[in-house]
């Protein structure tokens, strides 16, 4: 086949002297050896053949020294025995500059700036350079700069974060008649210098009243706005009395610590926590612990008794978290919610979250939240670094059925009713206990008692179901039973997650109805007794009122002969 026309034919230079032309080969001609395609380049203005050797791999190229010529008309010709094709490129050499890649990069830096230097081989050519900066989070920025005729060029990159690694590389193009970018330089990774920690720590506390004072557990974490700005960081906790200006006490902790406990008396205290690196301290985060009052002593007394000052309000969970809302108060400049991710652990993993003054609800979520575990939330209002407990909430991510069944402690039976008494602890459950269900049924048949609802078991048997909606009510009377009958019954607690399947029953026997016995006595025995008495009395009355008259033939007087 004849050769294809060379595609993408173009020429360029790096130093205004050596010109390189490139093009793409066409399809296979299926001619080989001395019949394979041959390439030649010629310059039309000078009518000369270009003195270069063509080499082809993925792409064909040919380079030669152009000398002092600036305007060129280069033609490439490809031919084989079956045909010939040509392609042409007319250009000004100053418009086809393809600079060499910058090399030998070095830098100078401060805590927020990096000045990057590099060398280039294109001396005497004014270049326009672009620096690519890769930030730690993956963000990429491009910065433009103009090169000079010096042996090196530079750019200053500002607005950077202290003690942070950045990766930079440079490429350049001709400033006057841009043709294309050079190849990228080698990438260079630079770390800015350390600086004073920026922002404040997010701090919180847990106060436990004790005899003679209080134990204060302090917690701290790096807020989103906080930056350590250094290689290593430590923490310093300082506390002092507010009133008398006594000498403050302080203690330092390494970077791996995030909590400590201190003991204070009943005076008001100012507590501050700062982060420190090799340069300086951060701004202090401050908490004011108010003076212990009668309420504090009351809280201690309540803690001994196991009671609470504020009533807990039940809240509902969703698949995404537990929704918390509170009544906003205009006097506070922020709100804090704290809770334990693992409430069964002692001490628990205390968590807290801060909100602005215009927020009155939030969705608390955590990977540690699991169904069937009760989480307690405390809502505080804060003003001038003084926090006050406002509300308490308690809830579940999702309620589960109760872990245990109520314990029936007493049963009172009559011939047509049974009264059940049971005990049930409402704390530490897998859901909020909403009430109880009482299930009853005769042994030999399905149940259909008046005032009940039907409940069908998986085996098809039918129970009578009664609902007690008050979890504090722990007694119930089932009426309309039959006397002298065997019944099965069970008491189940239920939550928002339902109840567990019915497994075990309690069995009872209703006694014989005494009223029926009385009726039997009245209807059978009494009439029989009356009849017997009446019969006996009739015989006596007959003997009294109607005696038997003797027969004359039986008289003894007739037994004498003289009277016959």
Q: Give the pLDDT confidence of 27-52 residue by residue, as tens digits.
A: 765 666 666 778 889 988 888 888 88
Radius of gyration from C-alpha coordinates of the chain: 52
Q: How many CA atoms lie within 13 A of 141 on its CB side?
A: 12
From the candidate CATH numbers 3.30.1360.40, 2.120.10.30, 2.40.50.180, 2.60.40.10, the one assigned to the domain spanning 201-295: 2.60.40.10
Give the angle 258-262-264 at the CA atoms, nearest 5°.
Answer: 150
Least-confidence region, from 102-116, 395-409, 415-429, 521-535: 521-535
Share of the chain above pLDDT 70, in %: 86
Give the separation between CA 272 and CA 286, rounded to whole angstroms: 4
How much of the chain is helix, strand and coil, in % rounded to 5? 10, 45, 45
Of the listed ranges 41-50, 390-399, 548-557, the one predicted with least confidence: 548-557
pLDDT score of 147: 73
Q: Which residues contact 122 (CB under 8 A, 6 or more apart)?
A: 14, 15, 97, 99, 100, 172
Phi, psi of 267 (to 5 degrees): -80, 170
More confident residue, 263 or 297: 263
Pairwise CA distance, residues 377 & 380, whole Å: 10
Please report the pLDDT score of residue 474 as a whole number: 94
Encode pLDDT of 444-465 as tens digits: 888 888 889 999 999 888 999 9
548 pLDDT tier (thresholds 50, 70, 90): low
User: What tens digit of pLDDT does each residue of 166-188 get?
Assistant: 999 999 999 889 999 999 999 99
Residue among 272, 275, 304 nearest 289 (CA): 272
The residues, ordered by sequence, that sit 6+ positions from 460 with a Cβ below 8 Å of its Cβ are none
Q: Which fold has domain 103-191?
A: Immunoglobulin-like (2.60.40)
Single pTM value for the model: 0.72
What integer pLDDT is reported at residue 465 of this predicted model?
95
For the cut 60, the answer to whether the pLDDT of residue 520 exceeds it is no
Mean pLDDT within 41-66: 87
> Among 335-344, 489-498, 522-531, whose mean pLDDT is lowest?
522-531
The pLDDT value recorded for residue 446 is 86
Mean pLDDT of 109-120: 94
pLDDT digits (tens, 9 = 90+) for 304-343: 334 456 889 999 898 899 999 999 999 999 999 999 999 9
CA atoms within 13 A on the CB side of 144: 6
The rounded distance, in Å, linking the Cα atoms of 10 and 20 is 8
pLDDT of residue 66: 87
Question: How many Cβ atoms from other residues are within 10 Å of residue 285's Cβ?
Answer: 20
Whether 407-510 and 310-396 are alike in CATH topology: the answer is yes
Domains of the chain, residue spans: 7-95, 103-191, 201-295, 310-396, 407-510
Q: Backbone phi, then psi, for 346, in 5-degree steps?
A: -130, 120
Read off the pLDDT of each residue in 252-272 and give the average, rounded to a whole number.
94
In this model, does residue 563 exceed pLDDT 90? Answer: no
End-to-end CA distance of the chain: 188
In the prediction, which pLDDT does 307 show?
40
Q: What pLDDT score does 551 carry?
A: 58
| pLDDT at residue number 469 | 94
pLDDT above 70: residue 501 = yes
Sign of the CA dihedral with 454 first, then 455, 460, and 462 last: negative
Superfamily of domain 407-510: Immunoglobulins (2.60.40.10)
Mention the CATH class of domain 7-95.
Answer: mainly beta
Looking at domain 310-396, its CATH superfamily turns out to be Immunoglobulins (2.60.40.10)
CA gap 355, 75 in Å, rounded:
73
Query: Could you give the 3-state DSSP secondary structure of residue 416?
Result: coil
The CA distances from residue 119 to 106, 109, 152, 186, in Å, are: 9, 18, 4, 12
């Amino acid at each position: 086949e004849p050769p294809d026309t060379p595609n993408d034919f173009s020429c360029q230079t790096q130093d205004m002297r050596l010109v390189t032309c490139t093009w793409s080969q066409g399809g296979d001609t299926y001619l080989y050896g001395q019949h394979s395609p041959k390439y030649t380049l010629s310059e039309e203005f000078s009518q000369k053949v270009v003195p270069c050797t063509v080499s082809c791999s993925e792409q064909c190229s040919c380079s030669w020294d152009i000398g002092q010529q600036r305007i060129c008309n280069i033609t490439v010709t490809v031919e084989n025995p079956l045909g010939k094709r040509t392609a042409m490129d007319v250009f000004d050499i100053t418009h086809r500059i393809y600079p060499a890649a910058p090399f030998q990069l070095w830098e100078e830096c401060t805590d927020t700036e990096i000045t990057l230097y590099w060398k280039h081989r294109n001396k005497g050519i004014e270049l326009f350079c672009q620096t690519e900066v890769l930030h730690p989070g993956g963000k990429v920025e491009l910065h433009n700069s103009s090169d000079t005729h010096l042996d090196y060029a530079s750019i200053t990159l500002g607005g950077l974060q202290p003690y942070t690694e950045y990766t930079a590389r440079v490429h350049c193009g001709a400033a006057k008649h841009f043709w294309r970018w050079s190849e990228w330089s080698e990438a260079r990774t630079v770390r800015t210098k350390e600086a004073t920690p920026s922002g404040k720590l997010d701090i919180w506390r847990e106060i436990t009243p004790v005899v003679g004072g209080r134990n204060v557990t302090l917690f701290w974490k790096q807020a989103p706005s906080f930056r350590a700005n250094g290689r290593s960081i430590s923490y310093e906790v300082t506390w002092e009395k507010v009133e008398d200006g006594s000498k403050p006490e302080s203690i330092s902790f390494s970077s791996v610590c995030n909590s400590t406990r201190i003991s204070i008396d009943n005076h008001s205290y100012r507590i501050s926590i700062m982060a420190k690196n090799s340069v300086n301290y951060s701004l202090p985060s401050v908490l004011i612990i108010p003076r212990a009052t009668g309420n504090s002593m009351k809280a201690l007394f309540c803690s001994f008794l196991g009671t609470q000052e504020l009533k807990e309000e039940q809240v509902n969970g969703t698949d995404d978290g537990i929704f918390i809302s509170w009544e906003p108060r205009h006097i506070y400049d922020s709100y804090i919610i704290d809770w334990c991710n693992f409430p069964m652990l002692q001490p628990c993993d205390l968590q807290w979250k801060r909100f602005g003054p215009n927020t009155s609800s939030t969705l608390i979520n955590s990977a540690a939240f699991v169904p069937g575990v009760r989480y307690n939330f405390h809502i505080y209002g804060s003003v001038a670094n003084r926090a006050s407990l406002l509300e308490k909430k308690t809830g579940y991510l999702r309620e589960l059925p109760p872990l245990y069944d109520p314990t029936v402690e007493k049963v009172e039976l009559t011939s047509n009713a049974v009264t059940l008494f049971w005990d049930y602890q409402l704390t530490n459950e897998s859901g909020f206990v909403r009430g109880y269900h009482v299930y009853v049924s005769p042994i030999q048949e399905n149940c259909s008692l008046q005032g009940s609802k039907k409940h069908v078991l998986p085996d098809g048997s039918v129970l009578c179901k009664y609902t007690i909606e008050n979890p504090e009510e722990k007694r119930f009377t089932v009426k309309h039973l039959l006397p002298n009958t065997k019944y099965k019954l069970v008491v189940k607690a239920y939550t928002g997650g339902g109840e567990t399947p019915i497994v075990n029953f309690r069995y009872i026997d209703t006694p014989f109805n005494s009223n029926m016995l009385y009726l039997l006595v009245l209807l059978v025995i009494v009439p029989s007794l009356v009849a017997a008495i009446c019969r006996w009395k009739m015989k006596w009355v007959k003997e009294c009122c109607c005696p038997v008259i003797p027969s004359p033939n039986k008289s003894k007087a007739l037994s004498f002969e003289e009277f016959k």
